[in-house]
Amino acid sequence: MAYPDHLEALNKAFSGIGVDENSLISIVANSNHEHKKSFRKGCSKLFIEDQNGFERMDQSIIKNLKLEFKRFRDAVVLSLLHPWERDARLIEKAMKKGQKHYDVIVEIACTRSSNELLGARKAYHSLFHHSVEEHLATHVKGCERKLLVALVSAYRYEGPKVNEDVVKSEAEILSNAIKNADKRKPIEDEDTIMILATRSKPHLKAVYEHYNKICDKSLTEDLEAEGILKDTVECLCTPETYFTRILDAGLSVDGDEESKRAVTRVIVTQREALVKEGYAPNKIQGILTGHYKDFILGSLAREEMNKPL
């Protein structure tokens, strides 16, 4: 007969994002046949009893367990890869998965420096024997294609200079594009694509601020229903808002699987920025579990920022 505290610990081991491997080893690996029979009776999170009194795992539970065990492995692999290779592989995977995953491509194209993005494009050549631009132009069939190709092709000026007259003019252009959305989608507007894909981030932040002044509403609010266009603006103009939104969704009790996967990607790829912005590790203390939790917390440790890659 399994001890009640063992049953509680076993149920708890599967209650967060990731799994508590140490508890599983200490309890399950050292259990005999009768103990395991008791576990099946007492672990309602894992086993269901059918009409014949047989305790079995539902196929969906097996699938979810595989995903939870994979989290630690995925975090380690992403951390070990050269950043250029990591981004190239993330772009290729998102492209293959289709429209719902284009936000990953936007995130990489808009949050990396010009040299980092160029490095990812070089890695893509080596890994997949095509340019990322070519694959996007070939595989993306929707209205997102022009914007995505333009974003990954960018090599933005990264200096501080901003032309205020151009800023005001381009804020007006974006405002008009959104006002005329019933005639033409903003994501298909050539001027909108040009502004978002070529201007420096300081310039775009100034455009964003001026837009807020002339419209009494933020640009991201006006783009609420515009999918990757909103993601693009957030990543370029207010990346801290974008990453907070992604992490909050993934760490939510009701977060779907893609949102949970995004937690690993964002923390591994943006850990330095998250620490700089004061992202609090205690937000994940009661949600992540096991080696996955230890690894993610270690990645966010401030000391890690001082170690060479």
Binding residues for Ca(2+): 14, 16, 18, 68, 255
Q: For tokens 């004061």, name the residue.
A: 278
The annotation places the binding site at: 14, 16, 18, 68, 255
Q: Which residue type sits at 137? A: A
Main-chain phi, psi angles of 34, to 5 degrees? -65, -40
Q: How far apart are CA 168 and CA 209, in angstroms?
A: 10
**Tokens read off for 24:** 């599983």
Cα first-last separation, the chain: 49
Whether the CB-CB separation of 233 and 107 falls below 8 Å is answered with no
**Tokens read off for 158:** 């990264």
**Tokens read off for 288:** 């992540």
Closest CA to 251 of 241, 262, 236: 262
